[in-house]
């Protein structure tokens, strides 16, 4: 990133999580909301899909086509792990990143997760004109995929409705949740953290 923007900080820096992960289905506005949220907090914005594409020199669609979903998920994990070395970031994650328990645990131990939720029709209106969506081509396929993921998205720390709402309104609700954030529960001194990858 090219440095953090100056911002009016909502709360003292120590009261906020160092890493804020936006999770949820494609097309719910994670990148748009993430950039706006980062600007409000004076944090950097990162996108795990963009990290993968920059590292691989190919688009997500090309990776799915040429190497398969399994290869992409490994690179997605690498991108997520790399964020442990960074602080004061808002991260927009890929639509499938939060599904694996290992990824959920990593995010829980390194920051706070916010599920941006949107109804099917709002998502379809945004993504049906976009290229590069490798996991579905019809509204029915999208509906099945979304339904299969909702229970796991619901494991995020917070849920914020993001369908057909102004970006500033969504950001304001995220900030309200972060204002009540208490951080992860401390572990006993003699317990080792779980491994990042099995």
Are 114 and 177 a contacting pair, CB within 8 Å?
yes
Three-class DSSP category at 155: coil
Among 99, 107, 121, residue whose Cα is nearest residue 28: 121
Q: Which residue has the tokens 């927009």?
A: 92
Predicted pLDDT of residue 105: 97
Predicted pLDDT of residue 5: 32
Three-class DSSP category at 194: coil
Cα–Cα distance, 147 to 75 (Å, whole number): 25
CATH 3.40.50.300 fits 17-179, yes or no: yes
Are 45 and 89 a contacting pair, CB within 8 Å?
yes
Q: Cα-Cα-Cα-Cα dihedral of 36, 1, 123, 61, to 10°?
A: 170
The structural domains of the chain, with segments of one domain joined by +, span 17-179
Among 25, 20, 5, 3, residue whose Cα is nearest residue 175: 20
Predicted pLDDT of residue 10: 39
Q: Which residue has the tokens 């949220």?
A: 37
What is the mean pLDDT, run by run of 10 residues, along the chain of 198 residues?
A: 35 71 95 96 96 94 90 95 97 96 96 96 79 66 93 97 94 91 52 37
DSSP state of 134: T
Among 161, 187, 168, residue whose Cα is nearest residue 36: 168
């Amino acid at each position: 990133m090219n440095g953090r923007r100056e911002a009016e900080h909502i709360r003292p820096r120590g009261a906020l999580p160092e890493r804020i992960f936006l999770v949820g289905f494609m097309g719910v506005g994670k990148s748009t909301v993430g950039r706006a949220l980062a600007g409000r907090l004076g944090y950097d914005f990162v996108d795990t899909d963009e990290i993968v594409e920059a590292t691989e020199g190919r688009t997500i669609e090309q990776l799915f086509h040429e190497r398969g979903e399994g290869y992409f998920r490994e690179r997605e994990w690498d991108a997520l792990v790399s964020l442990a070395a960074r602080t004061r970031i808002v991260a927009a994650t890929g639509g499938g990143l939060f599904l694996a328990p290992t990824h959920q645990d990593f995010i829980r131990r390194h920051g706070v997760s916010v599920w941006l939720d949107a109804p099917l029709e709002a998502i379809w209106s945004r993504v049906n004109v976009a290229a590069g969506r490798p996991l579905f081509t019809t509204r029915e396929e999208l509906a099945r995929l979304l339904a299969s993921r909702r229970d796991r998205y619901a494991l995020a720390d917070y849920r914020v409705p993001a369908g057909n709402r102004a970006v500033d309104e969504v950001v304001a609700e995220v900030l309200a949740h972060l204002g009540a954030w208490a951080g992860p529960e401390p572990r006993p001194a003699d317990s080792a953290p779980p491994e990042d990858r099995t």
